[in-house]
Amino acid sequence: MQEIGNIGAGNAATALSELVHAQLQMSVPRVKILPFAEVSAEVGGGDAILAAVLFQLSGDLDGMMYWILPLSSAQALIAQFFDVQSSEWSEMSLSMLQEVGNIVAGAYLSAVCDFTDLRVYPTPPAMTVDMADAVLADGMIYAADEQDAVVLIETDLQAKQIELSGYFFIMPRAASLFTLLGALGV
Amino acid sequence: METSIGIGEYAVAIAPDLLKTVGLGSCVGVVLFDQGMQLAGMIHVMLPKNTGKGNASKYADTGIRILLEELRRRGAKRIVAKIAGGAQMFATLRTMQMGLKNVEEVKQVLLEESVPLIAQDVGGNSGRTIVFHIDSAQLHITGRDMSLII
């Protein structure tokens, strides 16, 4: 599981590096099983403001995928693209973030698919900027409606030259977890 | 004292304590209280109907009834409700309409249990943090661009 995440992360880092002209580092993905109330602690607490791009996954892997940026990183990324320092969320900056999320998450996902030989189809991206618990609940509701904890495949990303950090979260539904493990021959 | 309630959890407290839950998105925060007794409970429900799997307090239908029972066990008689949440966080993701379903089920359960719903702030596309002041029975609601008391 960590290996597939690793390959996905490498691809996504390359895609994002090209977009923002900065060196990016991705952590080794971690697989965690967390009670609902503890998931937002991974991103700074339930009321931390995040920019989040969400994809529902279908096909061989049923679940949710997030690309998450803390508020300061989202603003840094907007500044990088538009050369403005703004705390306002214009339509343009939001759709830019959504598109960057689409490209980066797409790179991540296609690498995972190549490696596992699974066919996974993401929905078009949906995006919001809001409190962590409010943002993450939809993923937990979808992935773990029949459990009391969610499986989280978490990868951190960090840029060198600009103030940018963020996360990839994949929340597979229980049935897909077995598909994923099966594809890896576990 | 302020008691924080996590996703799918609930708590009961007496005045002058505060009950708080942060980041309600499609989830619904339900406050049940007996003003005369200065006794209140809050639950953060995630899903409408209990499928028989997992913790009963994360579902509106079973969770609200568990909280009601707990309040009555402590002597509450004239219980009323205030609710907040049930937003559609990702407006374009049409498969996730859970906010609406949660609000509908919460209202249905309150109706079936004859608990008057005296105030609500539901729907929209933004997250909410709620704090219930048991002594004044005020529910303080804050979001990214809003703040109100119901």
The set of residues, in sequence order, having a beta carbon less than 8 Å from that of A84 and lying 6+ positions away, is A78
DSSP chain A: -HHHHHHHHHHHHHHHHHHHTS-EEEPPPEEEEEEHHHHGGGGT-TT-EEEEEEEEEEETS-EEEEEEEEHHHHHHHHHHHHS----S--HHHHHHHHHHHHHHHHHHHHHHHHHHT--EEEPPPEEEEEEHHHHHHHHHHHH-TTSSEEEEEEEEEEESSSS-EEEEEEEE-HHHHHHHHHHTT-
Cβ contact, residue pair B89, A134, below 8 Å = yes
Lowest mean pLDDT: which of A104-113, B49-58, B84-93, B101-110? A104-113
Q: How confident is the model at residue B131 (pLDDT cuts 50, 70, 90)?
A: very high
Q: How confident is the model at residue B20 (pLDDT cuts 50, 70, 90)?
A: very high
Write the residue in B8, B54, B90 that is nearest to A128 by C-beta. Answer: B90
**What residues in chain A have their Cβ under 8 A from chain B's Cβ atoms?**
35-40, 45-47, 49, 54, 56, 123-124, 126-135, 137-138, 140-142, 145-148
In CATH, the number for domain A2-183 is 3.40.1550.10
In chain B, how many domains are there? 1
The mean pLDDT value for A176-184 works out to 76
The predicted structure's pLDDT at residue A4? 59
With a cut of 90, say whether residue B116 has pLDDT above it. Answer: yes
Cβ contact, residue pair B23, A140, below 8 Å = no
Cβ contact, residue pair B87, A134, below 8 Å = yes
For A117, the token pair is 């030989």
Lowest mean pLDDT: which of A17-21, B4-8, B125-129? A17-21
With a cut of 70, say whether residue A20 has pLDDT above it. Answer: no
Cβ contact, residue pair B92, A124, below 8 Å = yes
Give the A:B interface size as CB pairs under 8 Å.
Answer: 112
The predicted structure's pLDDT at residue B53? 83
Find, in chain A, the residue whose alpha carbon is nearest to that of B5: A37
For chain B, give the mean pLDDT.
94
With a cut of 90, say whether residue B144 has pLDDT above it. Answer: no
Cβ contact, residue pair A123, B95, below 8 Å = yes
The 10s digit of each residue's pLDDT in B21-52 is: 999 999 999 999 999 999 999 999 999 999 88
Which residue is associated with the tokens 């539901």? B122
The predicted structure's pLDDT at residue A57? 92
With a cut of 90, say whether residue B133 has pLDDT above it. Answer: yes
Find, in chain B, the residue whose alpha carbon is nearest to that of A139: B96
Cβ pair B57, A150 in contact under 8 A:
no
Tell me whether strands A63-70 and B117-122 are parallel, antiparallel or unpaired.
Answer: unpaired
Residue B114 belongs to what domain range? 2-149
Using an 8 Å CB-CB cutoff, list chain B residues near A145. 46-47, 51, 54
Shortest distance between the Cα of B25 and any Cα of chain A, in A, equals: 4
The predicted structure's pLDDT at residue A160? 72
For chain A, give the mean pLDDT.
81
The predicted structure's pLDDT at residue A93? 79
Q: Which of these, B21, B2, B6, lies nearest to B134 by C-alpha position?
A: B2
The predicted structure's pLDDT at residue A99? 86
Q: How confident is the model at residue B93 (pLDDT cuts 50, 70, 90)?
A: confident
Using an 8 Å CB-CB cutoff, list chain B residues near A128. 89-91, 125
Find, in chain B, the residue whose alpha carbon is nearest to that of A88: B145
d(CA A77, CA A70): 11
The predicted structure's pLDDT at residue A106? 84
The 10s digit of each residue's pLDDT in A58-114 is: 998 899 999 999 988 888 888 777 666 555 667 777 888 888 888 888 887 887 777
Cβ contact, residue pair A138, B96, below 8 Å = yes
**B60 assigned to active site:** no
The predicted structure's pLDDT at residue A22? 66
With a cut of 70, say whether residue B78 has pLDDT above it. Answer: yes
Find, in chain A, the residue whose alpha carbon is nearest to that of B24: A134
Which residue is associated with the tokens 């009601």? B68
Q: Which of these, A43, A66, A141, A131, lies nearest to B21 by C-alpha position?
A: A131
The predicted structure's pLDDT at residue A186? 53
The predicted structure's pLDDT at residue B47? 93
Top pLDDT among A161 and B128 is at: B128
Q: What is the CATH number of the domain that holds B42?
A: 3.30.1330.200
* Domain regions of chain A by residue span: 2-183
Angle at B45 between CA A175 and CA B82, to 5 degrees: 165
The predicted structure's pLDDT at residue B13? 96
The predicted structure's pLDDT at residue A174? 85
Q: How confident is the model at residue B140 (pLDDT cuts 50, 70, 90)?
A: very high
With a cut of 60, say whether residue A9 has pLDDT above it. Answer: yes
